[in-house]
Amino acid sequence: MKSAELIISVTIGLALVIVWLAVTLARAGRRSSESALGAMARDALVKFADRALELESVADILVSAREAAWRLFGCQRVVAFEPGADRGTWDAFIPGDEILPAVPAGLRGPFGWFVHNRGVAARGELGDRRFGAMRAPLGELMDRYEVDLLIPLVEHGRLLAVIGILLGRRPTDLDRQVLLLYRLEVTAACANIKLHRQAAHVLTLAKEIDLASAVKLALVPDEVEGSAGPISWAGHYQAAGQAGSDFWGVYQLGDGRVLFLIGDAIGSGLGGSMVAAVVKSCCDAIYDSDPTIRPGPPELLAALSAALQRPSTPTHARCFAALFDPEAGRILYANAGHTLPYRINFAGGPQLGVLAGSGTLLGDTLDQGYRENRSPLGDREAFVLFTDGLTKARSREGEPFGERRLQRVLAAQKDASAREIRERILTSLAAYHDGGPLVDDIALVVVRCKM
């Protein structure tokens, strides 16, 4: 279990480097001069990522981050801020060098503000509206520690550290692209160290933890039901063995838009579980990293495919991603070899259809592209996203549940809620399955639209 935890966290870190360097730096290199600078930034970040895998403490990570900042921006001063021993306090130091006076109580406000505002704060931009009441304390903090940029390292709602650098100029567009990648990579490295520590603690309680439950928590959202405006959903997950390899996720993107992801890794046991964890964790990181960068379904699948692609050790997964946009009255979706979801139109029905579209498996090639499919979103519709473990479930006589039985269950629905449709599917499946062993994992998400 320990090796699995370590492999997952290291793989996630490497995957994020590959994904964001491949996608974001490629965009930053439109002009030849910017391409050269982008290549230099990529090399510096790759060196940092390689080095970070060998380090064992956040302090060591910050020393390496100081060196990377010098190579990336030519800055001569880097200051790091870390939570102090006493709750709410913050220590300041030059990584690998000088201990600085701790942050005064009157200047600690920005550290709480950074938890919900993870973008870089630049001295020349403090007049922007987004800084509000934080303009003065941020400016004083920069003055006190002789920096002009503050870079928060936020992971899952926790501020791990803040890096201050003296850039000496107003950030250019390319600087902003590189700063974003720098922030993401240093955050991932610090989070990886903390994950190792948490894993070591969890391992001491291994006999009290059910592996299947732990895997389930990693591969599905904390809440399996939810709503956002006219969109509501209800999910379900059931592993066939001790470690599952199916996954699903939901991401609220603002303005009523909601993105759903569902898939299953090719492979079983611990290997399949690790592949699924990489895909799900990469997706979490992409949508949790920066609210201004929210890729659509085709770009998301391309990024996840790049994260899995390994020529020497092929790794694949099936995946379907759909963005529901009630305000625009449409669905944008892309498919990477996954089972086609069903749609139920309750207006004058129910009428049963599918979200048609195809694409190659995740991890098939490095430069994989996926087609964006569009479909109108009606005001009385439901959508059923599922992995093939649902239709593979067998009766006591060995017959699979099959697509036709599922279609009959869906065609019998009468303007039901997402939860009701989910429960009727599972009730029908349980009656047919009759408690026998599953042949494959099951992931199921029912999405309901009532506008």
Output the 3-class SS for 58-78.
Answer: HHHHHHHHHHHHHHHHCCCCE
Does residue 436 lie in a domain region?
yes
pLDDT of residue 216: 54
Q: The domain that contains 9 carries what CATH number? A: 3.30.450.40
Residue 144 lies in a domain: yes
**Measured distance CA(438)–CA(393) in Å, rounded:** 6
φ, ψ for residue 405, nearest 5 deg: -65, -40
Whether 50 has a pLDDT exceeding 90, the answer reads no
CA torsion 223-227-233-236 (nearest 10°) is 10
Q: CA–CA separation, 58 vs 231, rounded Å?
A: 41
pLDDT at 178 over 80: yes
Residue 11 has a pLDDT of 54
CA pair distance 396, 390, nearest whole angstrom: 15
Q: Which residues contact 386 (CB under 8 A, 6 or more apart)?
A: 262, 339, 341, 406, 442, 443, 444, 445
149-155 and 158-165 strand pairing: antiparallel
**Is there a domain that residue 322 lies in?**
yes
Share of residues in the chain with pLDDT > 90 (%): 43
**pLDDT band for position 354 (cuts 50, 70, 90):** very high
Based on the fold, state whether residues 162 and 249 are members of the same structural domain.
no
In terms of residue numbers, what domain contains 162?
2-199
Output the pLDDT for position 26. 45
d(CA 69, CA 151): 11
Measured between alpha carbons, how far is residue 317 from residues 271, 304, 306, 347 in Å?
12, 10, 12, 35
Residues 154 and 234 in one domain: no
CATH number at residue 257: 3.60.40.10
Tell me: do 236 and 158 sit in the same domain.
no
Question: At residue 344, does pLDDT exceed 90?
Answer: yes
CA torsion, ordered 417, 423, 425, 428, to nearest 10 deg: -140
pLDDT at site 221: 84
Which pLDDT does position 233 carry in this prediction? Answer: 96
Give the domain-ending residue among 166, 199, 232.
199
Q: What is the sign of the dihedral through the CA atoms of 152, 154, 159 and 160?
A: negative
Domain shared by 115 and 150, yes or no: yes
Contact between 257 and 294 (Cβ < 8 Å): no
Considering the domain architecture, whether residues 83 and 188 belong to the same structural domain is answered as: yes
Give dist(CA 361, CA 441) in Å, integer.
Answer: 18
> Are 183 and 215 contained in the same domain?
no
pLDDT at 12: 52
Mean pLDDT of 134-159: 92
pLDDT tens-digit series, residues 368-422: 789 999 999 988 999 999 999 999 999 888 899 999 999 999 999 888 999 999 9
Q: 338 with 291: CB under 8 angstroms?
A: no
Phi-psi region of 349 (alpha: psi -120 to 50; beta: other; left: phi over 0): beta
> In which band, very low, low, confident or very high, does the pLDDT at 286 lie, cut at 50, 70 and 90?
confident
Determine the pLDDT at residue 290: 64
Establish if 357 belongs to a structural domain: yes
Is residue 92 domain-shared with residue 189, that is, in the same domain? yes
* Same domain membership, residue 115 and residue 31: yes
What CA–CA distance (Å, rounded) separates 21 from 405? 45
Q: Are 180 and 143 in the same domain? A: yes
Torsion of CA 182, 186, 191, 197, to 10 degrees: 170
pLDDT range class, residue 2, cuts 50, 70, 90: very low
- DSSP bridge partners of 158: 155
Of 61 and 198, which is predicted with more confidence?
Answer: 61
For residue range 68-126, what is the model confidence (pLDDT) as tens digits?
Answer: 888 888 888 999 999 998 888 999 999 988 999 999 999 999 999 998 888 899 999 99
Q: Which of 199, 228, 243 is the last residue of a domain?
A: 199
8 pLDDT more than 90: no
Question: pLDDT value at position 163?
Answer: 95
pLDDT score for 23:
45
Query: Mean pLDDT, to the nearest integer, of 259-265?
Result: 94
Split at pLDDT 50, 70, 90, the class of 172 is confident
Give the helix/strand (H/E) hosting 122. Answer: strand 121-122
Domain end marker among 199, 223, 244: 199
Residue 424 pLDDT > 90: yes
Confidence of residue 350 (pLDDT cuts 50, 70, 90): confident
State the total domains in the chain. 2
pLDDT tens per residue, range 148-161: 999 999 887 889 99
* Mean pLDDT over the full length of the chain: 83
For residue 57, the model assigns a pLDDT of: 82
Q: What is the Cα Rg of the chain in Å?
A: 24
For residue 35, the model assigns a pLDDT of: 52
Separation of alpha carbons 161 and 77, rounded Å = 17
pLDDT digits (tens, 9 = 90+) for 187-235: 888 877 766 665 555 544 444 345 445 555 567 888 899 999 999 999 9
- Which of these, 346, 442, 322, 343, lies nearest to 387 by C-alpha position? 442
Residue 308 has pLDDT above 90, yes or no: no
User: Is 204 within the bounds of a domain?
Assistant: no
In this structure, the answer to whether residues 90 and 223 fall within a common structural domain is: no
Sheet containing 442-450: order of strands: 225-228, 231-238, 442-450, 380-386, 342-345, 351-354
- Are 90 and 111 in contact by the 8 Å Cβ rule? The answer is yes
Same domain? For 78 and 159 the reply is: yes
Angle, CA of 99, 102 and 105, to the nearest 5° = 175
In a domain, 422, yes or no: yes
Residue 34 pLDDT greater than 60, yes or no: no
Structure tokens at 135: 């303009």
Q: Is the peptide bond before 326 cis (omega within 30 degrees of 0)?
A: no
The rounded distance, in Å, linking the Cα atoms of 127 and 131 is 7
What is the per-residue pLDDT for 173?
84
Query: Residues 367, 280: one domain?
Result: yes
User: Does an H or E element contain 450, and which?
Assistant: strand 442-450
Does residue 205 fall inside a structural domain?
Answer: no
Give 322's pLDDT tier (boundaries 50, 70, 90): very high
- The tokens describing 33, both together, are 């001069």
**25 confidence band (pLDDT: 50, 70, 90):** very low
**Please, are residues 355 and 340 in contact by the beta-carbon 8 Å criterion?**
yes
- Between these two residues, 311 and 239, which has the higher pLDDT value? 239
- Tell me, yes or no, whether 340 lies in a domain: yes
Residue by residue, DSSP assigns 204-271 as TTGGGS-HHHHHHHHHS-S-SEEEETTEEEEEEEE-SSSS--EEEEEEEEETTEEEEEEEEESS-HHH
